[in-house]
Amino acid sequence: NNSKVWEDVDIYFSDHLKTSDIVMDSILKENLEAGLPAIDVSPNQGKFLYLLTKLKGAKHILEIGTLGGYSTVWFGRALPNDGHLISLEYSQKHAKVAEENIRNAGLEHKIEIMIGPALDTLPTLKGKGFSTFDLIFIDADKPNNPSYLKWALELSKPGTVIIVDNVVRNGRVADDNSEEPSVVGTRQMVELLSKESRIETTAIQTVGIKGYDGFVLGIVKE
């Protein structure tokens, strides 16, 4: 396969297009030293999320799945001064590393991490005054993708952007015999989208330093 050339091209673009810097690099270093799995988005993908946030002019962002806060900081950098991001993370350890990284990036005033299983914290958002978001990034445990999509729609308004990461899984998403829980969860989520009239969506396949994967992108209808 072409994985070597995919990696070379990814690195070529991140070297030339400022998709990394000292702060972003230090987050990856801290994550590695803390023993977190290297399953964050890549630098080019992080910059894409940053650009998408600016394109949308998003002020209120919800992220499901923080890890060490790498994607979180990309979003946080794109937010205006009065913007706000809530990130949901199951692991206390991951959240602690992320909080430190967010502080080092100078973004703690814009970002709040809620610790616990996302299916427990999502139902508390409305009561805390966060009833809708401009952009929602789903990147946690993939078997729960159908529930996360339902929650994302519940917390949306016309024009809300919803992104679901890692939906291709090396091509396994197209295998209707797969019993892999992540593939099954993602296929159930895509099934829901195929019947959902409230949102317009597409899916884009990606290659690069993170291998062969992709994301679903949608906008809630006016």
Nearer to ligand SAM, 122 or 190 (CB): 122
What is the full DSSP assignment across 166-184? --SGGGGGG-TT---HHHH
CB 144 within 8 A of CB 185: yes
DSSP string, 85-132: EEEEES-HHHHHHHHHHHHHTT-TTTEEEEES-HHHHGGGTGGGT---
Q: In the chain, what are the helix, strand and coil shares in percent, each to the nearest 5?
A: 50, 20, 35
Among 10, 43, 50, 65, contact with ligand SAM (rule: CB under 6 A):
65
Whose Cβ is closer to ligand SAM: residue 34's or residue 203's?
A: 34
Residue selected from 10, 30, 89, 213 as contacting ligand SAM according to rule CB under 6 A: 89
> How far apart, in whole angstroms, are the C-alpha atoms of residue 41 and residue 57?
21
The C-alpha atoms of residue 126 and residue 123 are separated, in whole angstroms, by 7
Structure tokens at 185: 């969860």
Judge whether 71 and 139 are in contact, CB under 8 Å: yes
Cα–Cα dist 21/192, whole Å: 39
Closest CB to ligand SAM among 84 and 210? 210
* Residue nearer to ligand SAM on the CB measure, 54 or 93: 93
Contact between 30 and ligand SAM by CB under 6 A: the answer reads no
Residues 100-159 binding ligand SAM (CB under 6 A) are 117-118, 139-141, 144
Stretch binding ligand SAM (CB under 6 A), from 84-92, 105-113, 151-159, 210-218: 84-92
Q: How deeply is 91 buried, as exposed, middle or buried, from its count of CB atoms within 10 A (0-12, 13-18, 19+)? A: middle
How many CB atoms lie under 10 A from the CB of residue 52? 18
- Residue 176 C-beta: closest distance to ligand SAM, Å: 24
Work out how close the CB of 15 gets to ligand SAM at its nearest, in angstroms, rounded to a whole number: 20
- Name which of 60 and 94 has its Cβ closer to ligand SAM: 94
Shortest distance in whole angstroms from residue 76 CB to ligand SAM:
12
Segment near ligand SAM (CB under 6 A), from 8-16, 59-67, 153-161, 198-206? 59-67
Q: Is 90 in the site for ligand SAM (CB under 6 A)?
A: yes
Q: Which residues bind ligand SAM (CB under 6 A)?
A: 39-41, 65-67, 70-71, 88-91, 94, 117-118, 139-141, 144
